[in-house]
Copies of this chain bind each other. A is one copy, B any other.
Amino acid sequence: MAMAKKSTLVLVAERAGVSIASVSRVLNGLPASDRVVESVRAAARDLGYVPDATARSLKVGKTEQVALAVADVGNPVYVAMMHEISRVIAKDGYRLVLSSTGGAAQDEIDLLDNLNRGFADGLILSPLRVTDDLVARLRESRLPIVIIGSLPDGVELDNVRADSVRGVGLAVKHLAKQGRRQIAFINGPIDTVPGAARLGGYLRAMAKRELVVHPDAQVYASDFTFKAGLEAAESLISQFTPDAIVCANDLLAVAAMKVITRRGLSVPGDIALVGMDDTDIAELANPSLTSVNLGSVARARAAAKLLLRRLNDPGAPVKQIVIEPRLTIRESSIGPAQAATS
């Protein structure tokens, strides 16, 4: 079989002895006489005809592509989301275009400008930082956008969010139940949406249980990465010895785990550990990591479905979905604290 030459509707029409309109109709399953259907099918098969996606897109105004923009492709939680979104939209014949932004709000704005070129029919965006400017641009965008993550109050955009506040609450509650009292918190950057929410959740949960928040019990990693987590954990442990740590993310938690064992302390014996996001990493960790499942996959699925709905029905009312967190308990947090040296 020779390298397939590009063949068009015109070629097929000639070979089948019909007009291009008939070819198009047959190939799209519109009604036609048996005679025409057969000759077109045969001609198309013989020529190895495949319709051109670009031409079709131009004519029908749909690209069959959905863009996904996440801040940090390195974070396993985004990988899981990407995977799920890809799966859901593929069922409706959409492809996934990846637009990795750097996490800076400006990148996301650039992306929006770009989107208006019309290379995708819709966008799923998970911004780390939400500026007023970004919100304004999102509002005036011509094409459907679904946001994964929290938005400022009153912003009416399709949106799927996790309940981070309750999520951190679950972690604190669980640790308190295990008898832990000195519960520290390793957060990510406080100027990000998740960072801010998780801090709020921590403070609220501690207050609710009348647990005292030691002044040195909170640190911020400069980033939601493992490396930043190592530094943050070092700085925490060197100032204060908690009997439990809640981490804003699994990567930070795994980093803390490493710092703790490196100091000769044990998890959960000396310090119990809870992460967030419940990514694959939590399962791999040794000991395995208790983690707050913020429903990443569920959020991804919901976002994808929301976008599909809007693509099919642009006038549908705005929908905002909150996914409830669950706690996945693993080895890193179970059992009471070991008695100290004594």
Q: Which of A76-84, A146-154, A181-189, A191-199 contacts B (4 or more CB under 8 A)?
A: A76-84
Shortest Cβ distance from A57 into B: residue:
B54
Assembly stoichiometry (copies): 2
Shortest Cβ distance from A140 into B: residue:
B3
Nearest-neighbour CB distance to chain B for A121, whole angstroms, equals 11
B226 close to A97 (CB less than 8 A): no
Known contacts A280-B226, A286-B286, A98 near B82 by CB under 8 Å:
yes
A52 close to B117 (CB less than 8 A): yes
A124-136 CB mask vs B (1 if < 8 Å, else 0) is: 0000000000001
B98 close to A284 (CB less than 8 A): no
Nearest-neighbour CB distance to chain B for A181, whole angstroms, equals 26
Determine the chain B residues whose CB is within 8 A of the CB of A251 once the complex forms: 284
B98 close to A86 (CB less than 8 A): yes
Q: Which of A235-258 contact B (CB under 8 A)?
A: 251, 254-255, 257-258
Q: Which of A258-285 contact B (CB under 8 A)?
A: 258, 261, 280-281, 283-285
A226 close to B116 (CB less than 8 A): no
Q: Does A6 contact B (CB under 8 A)?
A: yes
A284 close to B226 (CB less than 8 A): yes
Q: Does A74 contact B (CB under 8 A)?
A: yes
B97 close to A98 (CB less than 8 A): yes
Q: Which of A60-118 contact B (CB under 8 A)?
A: 63-65, 73-74, 76, 79-80, 82-83, 86-87, 95-100, 113, 116-118
B73 close to A86 (CB less than 8 A): yes
A: contact size bracket: 35 or more
Determine the chain B residues whose CB is within 8 A of the CB of A97 once the complex forms: 65, 95-98
Q: Does A51 contact B (CB under 8 A)?
A: yes
Determine the chain B residues whose CB is within 8 A of the CB of A4 once the complex forms: 116, 140, 142
Q: Which of A286-303 contact B (CB under 8 A)?
A: 286, 288
Q: Does A339 contact B (CB under 8 A)?
A: no
Determine the chain B residues whose CB is within 8 A of the CB of A73 once the complex forms: 79, 82-83, 86
Known contacts A54-B57, A79-B73, A100 near B86 by CB under 8 Å:
yes
Residues of A within 8 A of B (CB): 1-6, 50-55, 57-58, 63-65, 73-74, 76, 79-80, 82-83, 86-87, 95-100, 113, 116-119, 136, 139-142, 226, 251, 254-255, 257-258, 261, 280-281, 283-286, 288
Nearest 9 A/B pairs, CB to CB = A53-B117, A53-B119, A50-B116, A54-B57, A96-B98, A54-B58, A73-B83, A254-B284, A3-B140
Some 22 contacts from A to B, beta carbons below 8 A apart, are: A4-B142, A50-B113, A50-B116, A50-B117, A52-B58, A53-B118, A54-B54, A54-B118, A74-B80, A76-B79, A79-B79, A82-B98, A83-B100, A86-B98, A87-B100, A95-B97, A95-B99, A96-B97, A226-B283, A254-B284, A254-B286, A284-B285
